Structure 1
Amino acid sequence: MSNGGWVGTWRPHRPRGPVMAQYSSPGPKYYIQGATGYVSHIPTKRKAPAYSMCGAKPPLSKDCPPGPYDVPGYMTHRGRKSAPAYTMAGRPRVRVEITPGPASYSPEKSRRMIYKTAPAHSMSFRTRSAKVDTTPGPNAYMIPGVLGPHTVATSASPCYSMIGKSKLGRFDEDLHKTPGPAAYEKPATEIYKKRAPKYTMAGRNMNPRRDKIPGPADYVVGKVSMIKSCAPVVTFGIRHSDYTAPLIVDVC
């Protein structure tokens, strides 16, 4: 706004910066950056440290300990220290450029370039002319079939399909759909008759070895409640309702 007259008790002045009310944008909320994460973080907010979660390192193998290191003799704790060393090599090969001599040129072939000559023509074979007739021949067409139901230019005759005889209405058709004698299983006679006793034949039992005597580890010494008194043992059961009727037994 430009400096104008007085509006009430104050005079309008030019704003120092852009005022969002003067623009038709959605508002300042679309320009506020996020405060979570580290990508495009708002600079006015404090950023917390971020840590990365990774898996545990595999255990080091005990079978492959680090062995002695191969340290060269010229290496010290301050770096490499050795006498100057020189390398002996062969003399470099000098490449001599071979320039063409006078015999390498053919001045007699330059007459047509310098002097005027008669036109020279080359005799060659006649070029093959382009094929003008590009129409298809009689063998390029295919006459549609006139047999069967799928004809194009002619009317098709009625077609019939031959199938086998249907099982409906045959002499062996089961109209009642009842199961036959082979559909039932033969029950065991023990269901409707008295079952005879059955015996099982087994091998002869082996006599127990007399040298097998139980040792001290075969006994449970801690469980002595059979011969001595023990503290009372309380078990927790379910809670019964107060409205459950007690057991009433008729006493005659």
Structure 2
Amino acid sequence: QSMEEVVKKRPIISARERGPGPGRYILPPTVGYINHDFTKSSSPAYSFHSRMSSTMVSVDSSPGPRYYIDAKVTRFGRMETPSYSILGRGRHTGNKGELFQTPGPGAYSPEKAPPLNAHRKPPSYTIGARTRYRSVDAVPAPNSYSLPNLLGCQVPNKLSSASYSFSGRRKVGAPSEDLSMSPGPGKYNSTNPDIYHLRQPSFSMQSRTKRPSFSAASPGPATYSPEKFHVHLPKSPSFSLGIRHSEFVTPLVVDVVD
């Protein structure tokens, strides 16, 4: 058996089949930004510099980390708190050599200044001195006044609370009375509940009309036949069956037709 026959009997493997490459298909590329497929989202594209020569690699052209950047300088600007400078002491206009004497806080009297720029000022009052020619103090003291009593309706123009009067002690029912003479529970009459409640239905039973005798005995329960009385009740259909005849009995022939 030759080698060619062995090769022909092998199964077909799809990996051995030679097909067209990716460049054979006319589809827009998804790499880069030139002629990119507009139906696909594009990623950022970066370009690489060409390889430098061996002479340029050995030459260090960068200045290195010799620059000092303050920590307060950020990419958003300079981040620091506001700073102020204090001006030197001023001098007189006429005499330049003499320093200007600034007045202290006690030199000003802001309370004497009138209200300016629509400033609100609280009211101020002065208390007069005691009258010089005053011999007798005629002003009464607080305990000299007598206020009216507000219990009961004594003052017509004042609001008064309710007032109650108590009567004297009675002899009947007093603690000094003999309690053994008080009435017991059976002394009082009870009120019929039908007077102040909903009246309930009441029935009376009639007495026997006449004295029963042995001759006129009342019928018992077995005397009645309620099963036979079905006029007012629904009744199911009922059927009757005929008599069974023998197949071997000769029928009775009465009329013979010649």
| Bin for the TM-score computed over the shorter chain | under 0.3
Q: Tell me which structure has the larger Cα radius of gyration.
A: 2
TM-score, normalisation: structure 1 = 0.19
TM-score, normalisation: structure 2 = 0.18
* Structure with greater proportional helix content: 2
